[in-house]
Amino acid sequence: MEPFRIHILGCGSALPTLRHYASAQVVEVRGKLFLVDCGEGTQVQLRRSRLRFTKISAVFISHLHGDHCFGLMGMLSTFGLLGRTAPLTVYAPAQLFEVLEVQMNVFCRDGHGRSDFGFDVKCVPLDSSVQKVVYEDRSLTVTTIPLEHRIGCCGFLFREKPQRPHIRRDMMDFYGIPISQADNIKNGADWMTADGETVSNDKLVRPADQPRSYAYLSDTRYMPSLHEAIAGVNTVYHESTYADDNVAMAEKYFHSTARQAATVARDAGAGQLLLGHYSSRYDDETVLLREAKEVFENSRLTAEGDVFDV
């Protein structure tokens, strides 16, 4: 099975500490890399992760608070300096592109006033109020998930498409079936031998891998119905800014506690929960993990440099 991994670049909140960078992750799906949020320091963390810059094909920005997007312009500029030529698509609230255009015109021109960015940046505006497929390729969809924050904000659901079954090469060889027939057999065809025997398709294939899914739920207050949008997800990242001692703060500033994050994961029937976006008031984040585990046992803290299999 090809990898589906989450690379944590930053898991701090709006007041990052020396222990944490601002929000940023790379979602790796079947050899493709997608950057989700781009707080300050993201490009530094990308270098440390040893992920190839050129393989990042799209960036998804959840909302326009600085700890989720202030690193974008610097990263784009660095991409250009490193000789990137492949186009990059940025999915973000429309207002970001107004600012980005000004920054690119100011900082990314040569001595003759010509753009020397080196690659095309395609801007796709997001509507954070609707659940909608915004990206699709042969093996994956990315869907926006409306969240409730102080400004428009959305999460992202990465979901593999169902795959075709696997060919049983031993059975192909046994019945002398030419490899040119593999595509037909993957599509459900039986095989008839030279003696007129019909070999049923289920003898020639192994079941396809179950599609995997990952939900990134950025800044949001607790939403009792949020689990419905991510039902059955394999892995969910849900902000957990506060512990139980600051429930009132979470409500006031439209954030969540670790216990509330765990409640969403439990109600969604998730496989595992990743906690992050920690408030700088917690020197020891194990209090967040302990409270989450009381609701959902398979909860895990995230830290820079961590890699999680979906």
Would you please indicate which residues are annotated as catalytic (active-site) residues? 67
Token couple for 79: 């991409």
Long-range contacts formed by 304-308: CB under 8 A, 24+ apart = 304/8, 304/9, 304/10, 304/11, 304/20, 304/21, 304/45, 305/8, 305/48, 305/49, 306/7, 306/8, 307/5, 307/6, 307/7, 307/8, 308/5, 308/6, 308/8, 308/235, 308/272, 308/274
**Strand (E) or helix (H) holding 72:** helix 72-81
Give yes or no for a contact between 191 and 176, defined as CB atoms under 8 angstroms apart. Answer: no
How far, in whole angstroms, is CA 43 from its chain's centroid?
Answer: 17
Taking the C-alpha atoms of residue 208 and residue 111, their distance in angstroms, rounded to an integer, is: 55
